Amino acid sequence: MRNSHLEIKTALQIQKPVTEVFEALVDHEKMKNYFISESSGRMEEGKELIWKFPEFDAEVPVKVGSVEQDKYISFYWDADYGLLVEINLHPGVNSSTIVVVTEKSKPNDEAGIAWLKGNTEGWANFLACFKAYLEYGINLRKGAFEFRRGEF
């Protein structure tokens, strides 16, 4: 039986406590070190934000859904806030945190499969950049995507 809708789910363990991981997800100044280049504010429940990314010349509207301290963040983005992103935080061993990102959903068709491929790659990159920033203070995104602007 074929699923009618596609959903992305990625996860990674970060060697930092849940409180520190949560704060790095909601603080737009910290987000600039691993995800976005600009934001119109902090991620707070019900807030509408504009995000800019270093590799795109577009503004992305974001509507923050639920925020549960040290546990859960949801937001909507895409045209007319069509896609729901959920980030769940789970305490791991040795004061680490397991970060689970889910994005849903698109129809299981050619366009949906293209979305699944591109955004799965994007969320895996997000988690790798997030881990590098929190654990080692490295911004992996800096200079990584200029080629997408035709600068290579």
Token code pair at residue 24: 């790095």
Using an 8 Å Cβ cutoff, are 134 and 21 in contact? yes
pLDDT band at 90 (very low <50, low <70, confident <90, very high): very high
Does residue 26 have a pLDDT over 80? yes
DSSP 8-state class, residue 17: -
Q: Residue 105: is the preceding peptide bond cis (ω within 30°)?
A: yes
The residue-averaged pLDDT of 93-103 equals 97
Cβ atoms within 10 Å of 58's Cβ, excluding its own: 8
pLDDT band at 95 (very low <50, low <70, confident <90, very high): very high
DSSP 87-120: EEEEE-GGG-EEEEEEEEEEESSHHHHHHHHHHH
Angstrom distances, CA of residue 92 to CA of 8, 17, 81: 22, 8, 32
Q: At CB < 8 A and 24+ separation, what contacts does 91-96 make?
A: 91/18, 92/13, 94/15, 95/15, 95/16, 95/17, 96/13, 96/14, 96/15, 96/16, 96/17
Cα gap 4→16, rounded to integer Å: 37
CATH numbers and ranges of domains, the chain: 5-141 (3.30.530.20)
Q: What integer best gives the mean pLDDT of the chain?
A: 91
Does residue 150 have a pLDDT over 70? no
pLDDT band at 148 (very low <50, low <70, confident <90, very high): low
Ramachandran angles phi, psi of 129, nearest 5°: -65, -40
Residue-wise pLDDT for 62-86, tens only, equals 999 999 999 999 999 976 668 999 9
Strand pairing partners for 132?
none
Cα gap 133→126, rounded to integer Å: 11
Using an 8 Å Cβ cutoff, are 75 and 63 in contact? yes
The residue-averaged pLDDT of 119-145 equals 91
